[in-house]
Structure 1
């Protein structure tokens, strides 16, 4: 295996034996094979659109399949086997529709299919029989072996810089696919988003694209990701209302308990509906904290508070939680034996040996919570504020503008992004602690758990620490920045605003591409730069956008920013 898609790539280069995330070489190979298969499906989908053929099921499958390969989503080999076979079924069906409409099926690289059939049948055979093959253990072994031949280092790209930019595109597409899937679950879709995903996936197979063309494709990925996040914002606010500033208790209530982690609001809503009146308190974990600010979710009386911190601490925090645990979307880690029986997955997330709830009937989760002891007594603790999404902040925009003009607010810092376990992330805690009292701190995503419970005081009536929400709420942060720029009649880059971001996985890559698409410059990124960005590609990003690594200490960055 070779995987360098996340911030914790081994030795800052790539994982080649087992993923730091915990995925095995077998799962890595299956993910590589699935991405390769989706590229072939995408070629057919592009030709289909040219002759007026589209399939909504192919669109949804594409985003789900790509999302499944994002870091810490799915570790289950069997599910990847099913996805690969399903991809080929979709491809075969779509090819027939395209040909019937007068289209020409592209000359896709089907050698991997033929190799797979050769392994499965022993005689080469016709790749068209693949969808009807029985799924046996030898099928999975053959897919795994084949996946090892289509990975990053086994592909045709020998130019490291071109390969690097293609990786940026593919990893950005993983983030776009994730946000598109989140939005589609709540009924918000845009054909143009799916069309771009197919076009860009297919384009990565084109050996003739130049570095400039590939960089343009990466920036286009950022543009489309902005649309995907807009769809998700409309989906969440349309169903649950706009977030409002809300204090969230960090303590516990005596009684039975369920903990919900991940990102998915609809899963939480369904669980709240199904557990209502059963004497169970529901708590959030990780990126689910901002859910407490949505009127459509906070109305449930048994939706109590937040437990724990970010995803990388779940082994310790889940082990101590005395109830059932539901993982939605990404961020799962290999569970400890001590709590594996209490853990459930749903949606695209999965782990071998963990019970999966595919039909959204969370009865097994509720029954497990009732069978477990729950919290023995009330435990009082501090509260944290969340819910400062764009509507909440823009409702006091006049106050903010006046505070800037009067000098009460000197500077804004957006400090957020993905958290992780790599040493050096204490930089973000120290930074926030040292940001002067006349500066505001905006935050989002799980990076905030380095400092989310700190009391930074107020500037006038405004809390100095404003939690905008989940990682996808970068859309809100962008809208806030644009509105402030309009109010001051300047560009976003002219605002007294600095973005100091942490990254871990591919949603963060997509958001970074969105910021670059918008022309936002001088972003500081840490705790380390992506292993998949070569020195030459980094040089281009520095020259065009001023992107830079965080300094060795927060003091250095604060001195540079504030002077």
Structure 2
């Protein structure tokens, strides 16, 4: 086992015995084998496109399979052999089309690989095709290739969500296959590798735009909405993850059944969408970020649905109450197919639910780009009048690793003439703090999920246009936390847009070599976080 794709990797080097996330060596090997097989599919798909051939099933499946290899998504070893076999099946089908169109045969390697017949054999194959350094390999090229793989895993996640809601983009699929093919090149130049990594960021912007359109066309543009942090007396279902389609289908199936549906983690922003908030039994938010789920889920008196990444090993106390959907998997946990949430609903009816109302605090969500830009004139005026001195995008992933209290303290220390934009689960370090307003403009603005990073980028671009300046000249600083591969893709997008002076933490990616990191520092002035006090002093002067 050699896994170093997430921020919490052991000793900031690599997990080599068992994943800090709970991933076992057999699952790591199967994910590595799936990635290897997908490289072969990418190789064939890239040649097919050269001949004018594109296969929609191959495109959609590639994203689903790549998404299955993200951190905290699928821990079930039984789910990977079918994906590996399907990869080879689709590759061979597409290969026949390529050969019929006059394409040449493919060399031995991922494009000709055949999986073992049993699970143990596949695990052994996966162990031979992992991410561990190889003798004689150029470390910097390897670093950039792995950055590219982790980046397209993030793109695949966004494209997967978008496709479920009816949005596709051939250019996104084409690049994913091109990138998989590129990782097979034996001796690419450093310039070629850097170019591909930055192009990954550009394509991720397209994927995020696609997902934004999928969300807003299906559910409307988010509007500012107060979300209770308490609960209502009655049966309850908790929905965690990111997938709005799963949430919508569950809301439809629970309507009129006397069950209240609550969000957890990154599902919080769902309350701002008009087509979701219309359901009267869609009530409030329970809990905080993904890494606290073992404690929070154990106390929830209803059933729980995990819709995307962020699952942790379920405790025995709630193992019979939790269900997975989509690409998510955990050994022994009941998986929901085809949006039939009957088992989730039946379990919720068996459990006690909340025995009384709890009227606690509330938080406001729904400040996506439309909501913010509708008051852009007030924001510009407040800046010009000196009432708003600086904006901070304090956003990204949360996690259990020490050091993330930096972001809480950073927000607490901000002067009263500063505004915080936030998105993704990193906001749970401070999401319920009352920072007040500036001329009616909230000082804490929740833009949404990590899936909504496109909104934050569009806000920054619009403000730069309003002030007739470059984004880097705005009174805006980005202080980001990262954990998994969607965050990697977003960071590459920011770099591809030329955005500089990003502070990143809690630690820098283990897959970046000193030379690659030096390139980022020299060209983008990217830097690790230090202390909230020192960073604020340097930013504000």
Q: Same fold by TM (over 0.5)? A: yes
Matches within 5 A, 1:1-400: 1-110=1-110, 113=113, 116-117=115-116, 120=117, 139-153=118-132, 158-400=137-379
Kept after mapping to 2: 8 A contact 1:157/1:207: no
SS of structure 2 residue aligned to 1:113: coil
Counterpart Cα distance in 1 of 2:331 and 2:352? 26
Unmatched runs of 5 consecutive residues or more in structure 1? 121-138
Kept after mapping to 1: 8 A contact 2:6/2:509: yes
Kept after mapping to 2: 8 A contact 1:47/1:106: no
Match of 2:490 among 511, 517, 520: 511
Unmatched runs of 5 consecutive residues or more in structure 2? none
Kept after mapping to 2: 8 A contact 1:157/1:163: no
Counterpart Cα distance in 1 of 2:292 and 2:353? 20
Counterpart Cα distance in 2 of 1:478 and 1:206? 33
Kept after mapping to 2: 8 A contact 1:446/1:470: yes
Kept after mapping to 2: 8 A contact 1:250/1:307: yes
Match of 2:392 among 413, 423, 441: 413
Runs of 4+ with >4 A deviation = 154-157
TM-score by length of 2: 0.99
Question: Who is 1:555 aligned against?
Answer: 533
Across the aligned residues of Structure 1 and Structure 2, the Cα RMSD in angstroms comes to 1.1
Question: Who is 1:484 aligned against?
Answer: 463
Match of 2:480 among 498, 501, 511: 501
SS of structure 2 residue aligned to 1:252: coil
Counterpart Cα distance in 2 of 1:157 and 1:95? 32
Counterpart Cα distance in 2 of 1:383 and 1:489? 37
SS of structure 2 residue aligned to 1:75: coil
SS of structure 1 residue aligned to 2:499: coil
Question: Who is 2:423 aligned against?
Answer: 444
SS of structure 2 residue aligned to 1:209: coil
TM-score by length of 1: 0.95
SS of structure 1 residue aligned to 2:132: helix
Kept after mapping to 1: 8 A contact 2:225/2:271: yes
Counterpart Cα distance in 2 of 1:359 and 1:505? 27
SS of structure 2 residue aligned to 1:413: strand
SS of structure 2 residue aligned to 1:283: strand
Number of aligned pairs? Answer: 541
